[in-house]
Amino acid sequence: MIQLWSANGELEDTLSPVEINKTIPLAANEGFSRLGVEEETWRVYRTNDKNFIVQVAQPESALRETIRETTLRLVAPLLMLIPLLFFVLWLGVRTGLKPINVLSSAIDQRSPHSLVPIELGGQPQELHGLVRTLNALLLQLRQALTQQRDFIANAAHELRTPVAALRLQLELYQRSTPPSPEASENYAQLDAGIARITHLINQLLDFAKSETHEQPGQRAYTRIAIQDFIPLAVERHIALARAKNIDIGVVHLDSCFILASQEDLDLVLDNLLSNAVKHSFEHGEIDIAVEDAGATISLSIADNGPGIPEGERSRVFDRFYRILRADPNGRAITGSGLGLAIVKSVCDRYGATLSIADRQTSGQSGAVFTLRWPKEPND
C-alpha cells in the first residue's frame, strides 16, 4: 500500500494492488518503523518532501510469505541438484583414484614369491614416485632373500664334505675295532646321528631350491604327466617303507597334466612320501590317489600314523617346526622340520594349496595330505 499525505498530515490518496479496509496511520518519523493496526503489525517506510509525504506500508505476514516463496524458488532447484552434485563428486573421486586402485589390485594379486619390478608404463605421472619406491624395496628384498638362500645352500654344501669324511672315519673305526655289543651300540648311535645330519643337509639344499623366487615361465617349466611320476616316487621310498613293513599303494590314478619343473614335483612327492613313511606305524598302509578335480588335480597321500592335532596343522608348515612324539615302541620320531615347509614353499610358487585332514578309513588312524595343483591350461 502506498499513501500520499499532505504536509499538514492529511491523507490525500491511497494506492493498493488489493482492497484493504484499513486505515494505516502516518508514522511519526521518517524511515522504517512498525505500526500496530487492528492486532496486525505493519512494516512502514515514510519519506518527506516540501509539499507532501509519501508512506509505503506492508503487513509483516505478507512480507514473511514473500520471503518464504522467494526462498523456495531459490532453494528448491539447489536441493534437486544436490544428488547430481554428489554423483559428479563421487565420479570425479573414483576416476581420480582409479590408477591407485588398479596399482593396488595388481600388487594384491601377486604371488608372495613374485619380486619382479612393477612396470611404470600405463601409470600416471603422479604415481611414478610411489612405483619407483616400491620397486627399490622389492629389489632390496629380492637381494636379501637371495643372499639368505645362497648362504643356506653354501653352508649345506660346505657341510657335505666333513660329514662324508666323518662317515668314512666311522666305517674305518668299525672295521678296526673288535666286535662287541657295546661297540655295535655306539656305532649304531653314531651312524644314526650322521644319517640325521646328512638328511638335514640335503633338506637345507632342497629348501634353498624351493625358495627360488621365480614364477612359472621364467625358467624351464614343462608339461608333466603327474601319473608318470608317482611310481618313480614310490620306488625311491620302497626301501624305507619295507624296513617298517609298510605297504605303499596307489588306490586311484587319473591321467592329469600340470605345468611345472620336474625338480619341483620330485621335491613335493619325496617330502610328502618321506613324511608319510616316517610317521606311519609299523605294518601300516600308505594310500596315494591322483584325481582330476576340474581346474585342478587332487593328489592325496594318507598315512597310518598318529595323525596331526587340528591346532597344530597350520604350524607344521613352518620352518623347523616339529611335533615331538614317539612311535609305539617308545622311540622318538626324528626330523628336521623342513620337509613340509619345502612342500608349502613350492606350492605357494605355483598357486597350489595343501591341506591336512584325519584319515577316515575304518579302524585306521593317520593324516591325509591333499595337494590341489592347477592343471596345465591345455589339458
Digit-by-digit pLDDT tens for the chain (379 residues) are: 888 888 888 888 888 877 777 778 888 888 999 888 878 888 889 898 888 889 898 888 888 888 888 888 888 888 888 888 889 898 888 888 888 887 888 777 776 667 778 877 777 777 888 888 888 888 888 777 777 777 767 776 667 777 778 778 777 777 777 777 777 777 777 777 777 777 777 777 776 766 664 544 455 678 888 889 999 999 988 988 898 899 999 999 998 888 888 888 888 898 899 889 888 888 888 999 999 988 889 999 998 888 888 878 888 888 777 776 655 555 555 566 778 888 888 888 888 899 989 887 766 778 899 999 988 766 6
Question: Is 322 part of a structural domain of the chain?
Answer: yes
Residue 239 and residue 307 in one domain: yes
Residue 332 DSSP symbol: B
- Domain end marker among 163, 178, 213: 213
Among 93, 376, 335, CA closest to 227: 376
Residue 89 and residue 169 in one domain: no
Half-sphere exposure of 259 (CA within 13 A, CB side): 17
* Phi, psi (rounded to 5 degrees) for 19: -75, 125
- Domain end marker among 68, 90, 109: 109
- Domain end marker among 213, 243, 270: 213
DSSP, residue by residue, 279-331: HSPTT-EEEEEEEEETTEEEEEEE--SS---GGGTTTTTSTT-----B-TTS-
Output the pLDDT for position 1.
82
Question: Is 179 part of a structural domain of the chain?
Answer: yes
CA dihedral 296, 205, 202, 160 (to 10 degrees): 170
Strands 353-358 and 367-374: antiparallel
- CATH code of the domain covering residue 14: 3.30.450
Residue 125 and residue 267 in one domain: no
Output the pLDDT for position 216.
46
Residue 129 and residue 52 in one domain: no
Rounded to the nearest angstrom, the gap between the alpha carbon of residue 315 and the centroid of all alpha carbons in its chain is 18
- What's the predicted TM-score (pTM) here? 0.53
Output the pLDDT for position 55.
85
Helix (H) or strand (E) holding 165: helix 128-176
CA dihedral 5, 7, 8, 11 (to 10 degrees): -10
Half-sphere exposure of 101 (CA within 13 A, CB side): 6
Among 359, 253, 376, 246, CA closest to 306: 359
Cell of 52: 507532501
- CATH code of the domain covering residue 274: 3.30.565.10
Residue 185 and residue 42 in one domain: no
Cell of 304: 597310518
Residue 204 and residue 96 in one domain: no
Residue 101 and residue 120 in one domain: no
Among 232, 377, 239, 358, CA closest to 296: 377
Among 230, 361, 247, CA closest to 289: 230
Question: Is 379 part of a structural domain of the chain?
Answer: no
Residue 136 and residue 153 in one domain: yes
Residue 355 and residue 255 in one domain: yes
3-class SS shares of the chain: helix, strand, coil, % to 5: 50, 20, 30
Collapsed DSSP state (helix, strand, coil) of residue 260: strand
Residue 227 and residue 333 in one domain: yes
Residue 117 and residue 246 in one domain: no
Domain hosting residue 351, numbered range: 222-374
Our count of domains for the chain comes to: 3
Question: Is 208 part of a structural domain of the chain?
Answer: yes
Kindly list the strands in the beta sheet with 2-6, ordered across the sheet, starting from the edge strand earlier in the chain: 11-15, 2-6, 52-59, 40-48, 31-37
Rounded distance between C-alpha atoms, residue 299 and residue 288, angstroms: 7
- CATH code of the domain covering residue 147: 1.10.287.130
Find residue 149's DSSP bridge partners.
Answer: none
